[in-house]
Amino acid sequence: AFLDLTGPSEVEGIWKGSITLPCAYVPEKDFVQQTLKWTVVHDQSSGTVFRRDSSGDHVLLSKYRDRVSVLKDAPGNVSLHILNLEVSDRGTYTCEVTWRASNNSLIAKDITTKVEVVKVAATKPIIRASEPGLTFPAGARASLTCVANGSPPISYRWFRSVPGGKALLLSSQAELAWDSLQPSDTGKYYCEAENR
């Protein structure tokens, strides 16, 4: 059908991460988008999150200020992007578009998407090396990067095992780098990923 909005009925986002609420239509040459409105219904409140009209883009709920946007110059794509998700962002969001037809009549359509925000524990990290394999020539530059998924922010720590079963803390960055590897750098290294 023409000028139908499409998007999923439910979207799950990760706490402190970002999310896209898809909403799109196929532009028709005789119909000009007049207004786009994204509204939300929360447990306790409701309101207009974002409005685009001839005067520009407006974020009308202060808790979304600087966190929401809709692409410009993307005809038919009116998806809402939300940054730095809070648990309080969960709710039911409605995308409503109004078009003006060539005979000046107005047509409005809307779709609704339910948003859930989840807290996700950091996954077991994986280690990525700057080279395939973990054998390097002496004097080489090398790096190991620790990568995990989950609710940001994720903090990383690198350790090296030392005799006596102890672990020496080397770094609190995701990347462990050497400018010039020495034979004494040979050993067992561990990374740890942690979030809230």
pLDDT single digits (tens) 119-138? 989 999 999 987 767 788 89
Q: Are 90 and 98 in contact (CB under 8 A)?
A: no
DSSP helix/strand/coil, 16: coil
**Whether residue 102 sits in one domain with residue 139:** no
**Whether residue 40 sits in one domain with residue 74:** yes
Check whether 166 has a pLDDT greater than 60.
Answer: yes
**Whether residue 99 sits in one domain with residue 13:** yes
Q: In whole angstroms, give the CA distance from residue 191 to residue 168.
A: 11
Q: How confident is the model at residue 101 (pLDDT cuts 50, 70, 90)?
A: very high
Q: In whole angstroms, give the CA distance from residue 157 to residue 146.
A: 9
Check whether 52 has a pLDDT greater than 80.
Answer: yes
**Whether residue 147 sits in one domain with residue 100:** no
Average pLDDT over residues 62-74: 94
**Whether residue 66 sits in one domain with residue 46:** yes
**Whether residue 111 sits in one domain with residue 55:** yes
Number of domains in the chain: 2
**Whether residue 83 sits in one domain with residue 33:** yes
**Whether residue 106 sits in one domain with residue 14:** yes
DSSP helix/strand/coil, 87: helix
Pick the last residue of a domain from 118, 146, 181: 118
Average pLDDT over residues 148-164: 91
Pick the last residue of a domain from 118, 139, 160: 118
Q: How confident is the model at residue 163 (pLDDT cuts 50, 70, 90)?
A: confident
Strands 46-53 and 56-59, bridge-based pairing: antiparallel
Question: Residue 119's closest CA among 144, 91, 153?
Answer: 153
| The pLDDT value given to residue 156 | 97
Q: Are 37 and 101 in contact (CB under 8 A)?
A: no
Q: In whole angstroms, give the CA distance from residue 113 to residue 127.
A: 37
Percent of the chain with pLDDT over 90: 80
**Whether residue 49 sits in one domain with residue 135:** no
**Whether residue 162 sits in one domain with residue 86:** no
149 Cβ contact list (under 8 Å, min separation 6): 120, 122, 123
Q: How confident is the model at residue 56 (pLDDT cuts 50, 70, 90)?
A: very high
Burial pattern 72-82, b for ≥16 Cβ within 10 A else e, equals eeeeeebbbeb
Q: In whole angstroms, give the CA distance from residue 111 to residue 100.
A: 19
Q: Are 175 and 145 in contact (CB under 8 A)?
A: yes
Check whether 83 has a pLDDT greater than 60.
Answer: yes
Q: In whole angstroms, give the CA distance from residue 141 to residue 178.
A: 5
Q: How confident is the model at residue 1 (pLDDT cuts 50, 70, 90)?
A: low
Pick the last residue of a domain from 95, 118, 141: 118
| The pLDDT value given to residue 165 | 81
- The CATH number given to whatever domain includes residue 81 is 2.60.40.10
Per the structure, the complete domain to which residue 41 belongs is given by 5-118
Average pLDDT over residues 20-42: 95
64 Rama class: left (phi>0) / alpha (psi -120 to 50) / beta:
alpha
**Whether residue 93 sits in one domain with residue 133:** no
**Whether residue 136 sits in one domain with residue 107:** no
